[in-house]
Amino acid sequence: MAQAVVIGAGPAGLMAAEQLAAAGHSVLVAEAKPSVARKLLMAGKSGLNLTKDEPLDDLIRAYGEAADWLRPIMSDFDAEAVQHWARGLGQTLFVGSTGRVFPEAMKASPLLRAWLARLDKAGVEIRTRWRWAGWESDAPVFDTPDGRRSVSTDVTVLALGGASWARLGSDGHWAQILAGKNVALAPFEPANSAISVDWSPHMQPHFGAALKSIRWMAGDLESRGEAAISRTGLEGGGLYTLTPALRAGQPLFADLTPDLDQQALLARLSAKRSKTTLSQWMRKSLNLSAQKITLFHEMAKRGGHSQPVQVSILKKLPIRHAGLRPMDEAISTAGGIKRTALDDGLMLTALPGVFCAGEMLDWEAPTGGYLLTACLATGRWAGRSAADWLEKAE
């Protein structure tokens, strides 16, 4: 029986630990925070989106430039496999109208409790408040409540997360350690990020309100997802999918009437009575919400557009903003360990016997189940690869 150490107790780390234990190895999981899977639990507060129930070709497309190298990993643990895994933990699932898969309980805690119980039964040992500090004589070293500890291990899996939501454990501190070991890294950047807007006082009554039925556009990307007006700007799934284009500096536009073409809008505009105000016309003739109307005035005024309204502005309203919110507020991050630093089993070529999984790898995906699916899939792949490596080393 070999000794394996998994560093990071999020979904990727726990999945890797389970694979190593199933292969008959002794497994220690080290977690820097006082409890495990804190980001998973936070995500589950608004409804735990496990995966997207769609064919592999559609699923893999969500990973953009990383799709090709993730394909074998995802095909080994796709959306159907994620659902089978969750049901094996006693979770009854349902599929929403958009294909998103949720446990009936909606929360992450019942699934996590069942998973931890299964890991405990398999002999996996979990130590919390163990913060990884690098290596000493090839042994991983941890700062613990009882002082610095080193652990002798035959194989290591790193599942340390990205660089957002530091309070939940993903602070990216590991990048400096790996850079010192000549591991190729891509700089961290926000993904699935809100945008900053310095609102005028007219927007304050709408803070917290949802903007629905809008087509958002940036560069070659577009989305019909929902967004919310917040005190600091705009946030929500409708914008998160556009983060790659917004990061690259592409302007953001909103089509306030995505179900009406320009010809239909012109016809309604021509029927507008002279005494009808612009806001009244947008509310009565176009059935726009108060939030949409206020957003139109906020952005049209900033752009210097004069009335009467131009139909083209309704169809492509420039959303003038101050850029993405700080990276630590982003749901996830792009960047991390480059594919070129890894072999096909997700082992670091510069550090034989050290495997990597989860958000610390250089990939990104929109919300909607894609993030968790890839974390589980890469964790499983790294764990199995580590077990195979141990078998060959015997």
Average pLDDT over residues 155-163: 98
Phi, psi of 114 (to 5 degrees): -65, -40
What local confidence, expressed as pLDDT, does residue 311 receive?
80
pLDDT for position 305:
52
Mean of the per-residue pLDDT values for the chain? 95
What is the per-residue pLDDT across 59-80, written as a single tens digit (0 to 9) for each? 999 999 999 999 999 999 999 9
Report the b/e string of 85-111 with b at 16+ CB within 10 A.
Answer: bbeeeebebeeeeeebbbbebeebebb
Give the side-chain half-sphere CA count within 13 A for 271. Answer: 11
The pLDDT value recorded for residue 303 is 64
Reading the block at residue 276, the tokens are 């009808």
* Confidence grade of residue 117 (pLDDT, cut at 50, 70, 90): very high
Q: What are phi and psi of 203, to 5 degrees?
A: -85, -15
Span(s) in the chain for CATH 3.50.50.60: 3-190+332-393
Note the CATH architecture for domain 3-190+332-393.
3-Layer(bba) Sandwich (3.50)
Q: H helices within 34-128, ranges in order?
A: 38-44, 56-61, 67-76, 79-88, 109-121
By C-alpha distance, which of 211, 214, 232 is closest to 291? 211
pLDDT band at 272 (very low <50, low <70, confident <90, very high): confident
pLDDT at 179: 97
**Dihedral in degrees, nearest 10, Cα atoms 80, 118, 166, 129:** -170
Q: Return the pLDDT at 304.
A: 59
* pLDDT given at position 308: 54
pLDDT digits (tens, 9 = 90+) for 96-105: 999 999 999 9
pLDDT in tens, 235-245: 999 999 999 99
CA distance 204 to 69: 45
Q: What is the dihedral of CA 286, 290, 292, 294, to 10 degrees?
A: 120
Rounded-to-integer distance, Cα 38 and Cα 24, Å: 28
pLDDT value at residue 312 = 85
Q: What is the band of 131 on the pLDDT scale with cuts at 50, 70, 90?
A: very high
Coil vs helix vs strand at 206: helix
Predicted confidence at residue 166, as pLDDT, reads 93
Q: Which phi-psi region, left, alpha or beta, contains residue 254 (left: φ > 0; alpha: ψ -120 to 50)?
A: beta
Q: What is residue 75's three-state secondary structure?
A: helix
Dist CA 383 CA 25 (whole Å)? 11
The predicted model scores a pTM of 0.94
pLDDT band at 1 (very low <50, low <70, confident <90, very high): confident
Q: Is the pLDDT of residue 196 over 90?
A: yes
Report whether 156 contacts 301 (CB < 8 A): no
